[in-house]
Structure 1
Amino acid sequence: MSEAVKKVCVIGAGVMGAGIAAQVANAGVPVLLLDIVPKDATDRDAVAKGAVAKMLKTEPAPFMSAAAARLVETGNIDDHLDRVAECDWIVEAIVERLDIKQALYARLEQLKRPGTAVSSNTSTIPLGHLVEGRSEQFRRDFLITHFFNPPRYMRLVEIVRGEHTDVAVAEKVEAFVDRFTGKRIVRAKDTPGFIANRIGTYWLAVAVNAALDQGLTVEEADQIGGRPMGVPKTGIFGLIDLVGIDLMPLLSKSLSATLPAGDPYFATVRDLPLVDRMIAEGYTGRKGKGGFYRLDKRPDGSRAKLAIDLASGDYRPEQKPAALPPAAEKDLAALVTVPGKVGDYAWTILGQVLSYAAMLVGEAADDVVAIDDAMKLGYNWKFGPFELIDRLGPGKLAERLRAEGRAVPAILETAGERSFYRVEGGVRQFLGRDGAYHNVPRAEGVLLLEDVKRRSAPVATSASAALWDVGDGVLCLEFTAKMNALDGEVAALIEQAVALVPGRFKALVIYNEGSNFSAGANLGLALFAVKAGAWGEVEKLVAAGQRAFKALKYAPFPVVSAPSGLALGGGCEVLLHSDAVQAHAESYVGLVECGVGLVPGWGGHGELLDRLAKLPTMPKGPMPAVMKAFELISTAQVSKSAAQAKEMGFLRASDGVTMNRDRLLADAKARALALVDGYQPPEPPVYRLPGESGRVGIAGAVADFHRKRVATDYDVVVAGRLAEVLTGGEADLVDVVSEEQLLALERAAFLESARDERTHARVESMLMTGKPLRN
Structure 2
Amino acid sequence: MSIQKAAVLGAGVMGSGIAAHIANAGVPVVLLDIVPKGAENRSVIAEGAVQKLLKADPAAFMHPRNAKLVTTGNLEDHLDLLKDCDLIIEAVLEDPQVKRDLYARVEAVRKDGSIVSSNTSTIPLKILTQGLPQRFARDFLVTHFFNPPRYMRLLELVAGPETRADAVKAVEAFGDEKLGKGIVHCKDTPGFIANRIGTYWIQASINAAMDLGLTVEEADAVMGKPFGIPKTGVFGLIDLVGLDLMPHVSKSLQTTLPASDPYQAIYRTPELFKRMIADGYTGRKGKGGFYRLNREAGKRKEAIDLKTGEYRPQQKAELESASLKHPAEVLSHHDRGGAYARAAIGGTLAYAASLVPEICDTVAELDAGMKLGYNWKYGPFELIDRIGVDRVIEALEVAGQKVPALLLTAKGKSFYRVENGKLEYLTVDGAYKPVVRPDGVLLLEDIKRASKPLAKNGSAALWDIGDGVACLEFTSKMNSIDPEIMAMIQKAIGIVGKGMKGLVVYNEGSNFSVGANLGLAIFAANIAMWPTIEESVAAGQATYKALKFAPFPVVAAPKNMALGGGCEVCLHSDAIQAHAELYIGLVEVGVGVIPGWGGCKELTLRALNNKKRPGGPMSALAQVFETISTAKVSRSAEDARELGILRPADGITMNADRLLADAKAKVLALAKDYKAPEPQKLRLPGPTAEAGFNLAVADFHRQGKATKHDVVVAGALARVLAGGDTDMVDEIDEDRLTELEREAFMSLIKTPGTLARIEHMLETGKPLRN
Residues 697 and 706, structure 2, Cα contact 8 Å, conserved in 1: yes
* 2:283 is aligned with 1:285: yes
Which amino acid in 1 is paired with 2:314? E
* 2:594 is aligned with 1:596: no
Report the equivalent of 2:39.
41
Distance 1:627 1:271 in 2: 58
Which amino acid in 1 is paired with 2:756? A
Give the alignment of 1:13-24 within 5 angstroms: 13-24=11-22
* 2:296 is aligned with 1:270: no
- Give percent identity, aligned residues only: 58
Report the equivalent of 1:562.
557
CA change 1:271–1:610 in 2 (3 A) is closer
Which amino acid in 2 is paired with 1:194? F
Which amino acid in 1 is paired with 2:360? A
Secondary structure at 2:288 match in 1: coil
**Which of 296, 301, 305 pairs up with 2:301?**
305
* 2:312 is aligned with 1:316: yes
Which string of whole-angstrom CA distances, capped at 9 and with x for unpartnered residues, describes residues 26-50 of structure 1? 1111111111112222222211111
Give the alignment of 1:319-398 within 5 angstroms: 319-325=315-321, 329-398=324-393
Distance 1:551 1:94 in 2: 56
Report the equivalent of 2:691.
696
Report the equivalent of 1:659.
654
**Worse-matched range after superposition: 153-162 or 612-621:** 612-621
Which amino acid in 2 is paired with 1:253? K
Which string of whole-angstrom CA distances, capped at 9 and with x for unpartnered residues, describes residues 455-478 of structure 1? 111101222211100000001111
Residues 465 and 481, structure 1, Cα contact 8 Å, conserved in 2: yes
Secondary structure at 2:461 match in 1: strand
Which amino acid in 2 is paired with 1:311? K
**Which of 666, 670, 676 pairs up with 2:671?**
676
Secondary structure at 2:507 match in 1: coil
**Which of 7, 10, 18 pairs up with 1:9?**
7
**Which of 478, 482, 486 pairs up with 1:487?**
482
Report the equivalent of 1:67.
65
**Which of 737, 740, 749 pairs up with 2:744?**
749
Give the CA deviation at 1:223: 1.8
Which string of whole-angstrom CA distances, capped at 9 and with x for unpartnered residues, describes residues 464-501 of structure 1? 21110000000111111111111222222212222222
Give the CA deviation at 1:336: 2.1
Which amino acid in 2 is paired with 1:226? G
Which amino acid in 1 is paired with 2:753? R
Which amino acid in 2 is paired with 1:769? T
Distance 1:31 1:210 in 2: 45
Distance 1:416 1:569 in 2: 49
Distance 2:188 2:456 in 1: 48
Which string of whole-angstrom CA distances, capped at 9 and with x for unpartnered residues, describes residues 528-583 of structure 1? 11222222221121111111111111111111100001111111111111111000
Which amino acid in 1 is paired with 2:766? K
Distance 2:422 2:320 in 1: 35
Which amino acid in 1 is paired with 2:139? D
* 2:625 is aligned with 1:630: yes
Which amino acid in 1 is paired with 2:483? G
Residues 144 and 159, structure 1, Cα contact 8 Å, conserved in 2: yes
Which amino acid in 1 is paired with 2:101? A
Report the equivalent of 1:176.
174
TM-score normalised per structure 2: 0.98
Give the alignment of 1:142-541 within 5 angstroms: 142-298=140-296, 302-325=298-321, 329-541=324-536
Which amino acid in 2 is paired with 1:193? G
Secondary structure at 1:589 match in 2: strand
Which amino acid in 2 is paired with 1:677? K
Give the CA deviation at 1:616: 4.1
Distance 2:544 2:518 in 1: 18
CA change 1:404–1:479 in 2 (3 A) is closer
Distance 2:329 2:728 in 1: 69
Which string of whole-angstrom CA distances, capped at 9 and with x for unpartnered residues, describes residues 210-249 of structure 1? 1111222112211222222221101111111111111111
Which amino acid in 1 is paired with 2:361? D
Secondary structure at 1:581 match in 2: strand
Report the equivalent of 2:130.
132
Distance 1:227 1:15 in 2: 30
Give the CA deviation at 1:298: 4.6
* 2:734 is aligned with 1:736: no
Distance 2:397 2:605 in 1: 68
Give the CA deviation at 1:613: 2.2
Report the equivalent of 2:120.
122
Distance 1:621 1:399 in 2: 74
Distance 1:679 1:602 in 2: 25
- Count residues with an aligned counterpart: 770
CA change 1:321–1:140 in 2 (3 A) is same
Which string of whole-angstrom CA distances, capped at 9 and with x for unpartnered residues, describes residues 238-276 of structure 1? 111111111111111111111122111111222421001
Distance 1:558 1:534 in 2: 36
* 2:550 is aligned with 1:544: no
Give the CA deviation at 1:402: 2.8
**Worse-matched range after superposition: 665-674 or 102-111:** 102-111
Residues 557 and 676, structure 1, Cα contact 8 Å, conserved in 2: yes
Distance 1:406 1:748 in 2: 68
CA change 1:108–1:594 in 2 (3 A) is same
Report the equivalent of 1:587.
582
Distance 2:292 2:628 in 1: 35
Distance 2:618 2:485 in 1: 34
Which amino acid in 2 is paired with 1:759? T
Report the equivalent of 1:572.
567
Give the CA deviation at 1:321: 2.4
**Worse-matched range after superposition: 345-354 or 166-175:** 345-354
CA change 1:90–1:719 in 2 (3 A) is same
TM-score normalised per structure 1: 0.98
Distance 1:686 1:38 in 2: 63
Residues 487 and 541, structure 1, Cα contact 8 Å, conserved in 2: no
**Worse-matched range after superposition: 412-421 or 624-633:** 412-421
Which string of whole-angstrom CA distances, capped at 9 and with x for unpartnered residues, describes residues 724-764 of structure 1? 00001000122112111111111100111111121111011
Q: Which runs of 5+ in 1 are unaligned?
A: none
Distance 1:313 1:175 in 2: 48
Which string of whole-angstrom CA distances, capped at 9 and with x for unpartnered residues, describes residues 307-350 of structure 1? 11111111112222214258x72232322222242222111112
Secondary structure at 1:279 match in 2: helix
Distance 2:608 2:86 in 1: 41
Distance 1:713 1:764 in 2: 18
Give the CA deviation at 1:396: 2.1
Secondary structure at 1:143 match in 2: strand
Which string of whole-angstrom CA distances, capped at 9 and with x for unpartnered residues, describes residues 346-373 of structure 1? 1111221111001111111111111111
**How large is the RMSD of aligned CA atoms in angstroms?**
1.3
Distance 1:339 1:512 in 2: 38
Distance 1:538 1:325 in 2: 41
CA change 1:216–1:297 in 2 (3 A) is same
CA change 1:767–1:84 in 2 (3 A) is same
Distance 2:196 2:269 in 1: 19
Secondary structure at 1:774 match in 2: coil
